[in-house]
Amino acid sequence: MTEQTRRVLKVSDLALQGIGPSEIARLRRDGTFSSVRRGVVVEGAPERDARRRQLELIAATMPVLSGAQGVLTHTSATALLGLPMTVMGSDRVWLNRPAGSSSHRRRQLVVRDGPMEWDEVTEVDGLLVTGPERTAVDMAREFGFVTGVMVADAVLRRSGEPERLQELVRRGARRRGNATARAVAAFADGLSESPGESLMRAQLQMQGCPEPELQVEILDARGFLVARCDYGWRRYGVVGEYDGVEKYGRLLRPGQTVSAVVDAEKDREANIRDQGLEIIRFCRADLRNPRAAAARLNRLLASRAPSAMTVASGTWAGPRRAVRAPLGAVWDDDAPLLPPGAN
């Protein structure tokens, strides 16, 4: 956060340098300064990126707070921890202060005094911040299931400790929104590889669709890898992909164009269908209209009813499981095996 801190200037400090209100107003008009919050400006234009904008707001807010600094939470914590961001709450700094402090919500600051254990707190750039798991639980309580899953998936992708999420949910059993946090802790999965994948999966769950397996590997009849797909509905012989901008960025090789990646994806899709499987694709527009996306998925699943499929049992191999898919293709799922109900 050093860059954001360096850009922040308190109006009171500028006054000591002989730069008064009229001069500050002129510098704001010509773009030299931009307002961040009352009594604070930054050099140049305000940040447009949501994460950098939140970091800038934190840098502008913390020096002007009176009393105990407290612990940064919610969207402020996601920005500092490098977790997926949401626009919800990104226009405010979120802070938890010791019990007995007054809770209040202002235009650019939300202060809470909820209970917090020290093992739920970490430090980033000299600031106290809720740890990743506590941040995911807070985001679920405050902003709902879909946002909570996006953050919790990212946390599990880093740490792989779902038990820690569940423990923090139990600690806050009486807190508002804890039922949602409990559902998120049960549903979250570190196999989800991007925020878009997580959001789409959570939206489909909210619409009542069957829960997919994640990062399924498709093998041909000889056992060679054909593809690895984001989602899989094994009983129906259907796989799914979330086509976000971030995915094509990951697939790009040095010197390769996006159009070349798209062509390669078309060939990959044809190879998947050659194994007797169907594929459904989701994109960012589906996140804005999840009901239509769910209806599209349900129509496809209904057209491939399990009773009409022949899926023979495959082999078990340690933490992996292989199932023979229609027409001889083998579907190898690399998800770790968990006891029933563990995820």
Question: Above 90 in pLDDT, residue 250?
Answer: no
Residue 33 vs residue 327, higher pLDDT: 33
Question: Are 260 and 301 within 8 A, CB to CB?
Answer: no
Angle at which helices 178-187 and 145-159 cross, to 10°: 50
pLDDT of residue 105: 64
CA distances to 100, 187, 201, 216, 228 from 232, rounded to whole Å, are: 49, 16, 11, 6, 10
Average pLDDT of span 301-325: 44
pLDDT of residue 66: 61
Residue 75 vs residue 108, higher pLDDT: 75
Gap between the Cα atoms of 172 and 144, Å rounded: 16
The model's pTM: 0.81
E strand residue ranges, 198-308: 213-219, 225-233, 238-242, 278-282
10 Å CB burial of residue 224 (0-12, 13-18, 19+) is exposed
Gap between the Cα atoms of 166 and 133, Å rounded: 9
Mean pLDDT of the residues in the chain: 82
Question: Above 50 in pLDDT, residue 159?
Answer: yes
Record the tokens describing residue 37, joined without a space.
């919050």
Domains, the chain, with CATH or none: 1-46 (no CATH), 48-191 (no CATH), 211-317 (3.40.960)
E strand residue ranges, the chain: 8-10, 33-37, 40-43, 71-72, 93-96, 104-105, 109-112, 121-124, 127-130, 213-219, 225-233, 238-242, 278-282, 316-317, 320-324, 330-333
Gap between the Cα atoms of 329 and 332, Å rounded: 10
Gap between the Cα atoms of 112 and 97, Å rounded: 6
Record the tokens describing residue 298, joined without a space.
């349900």
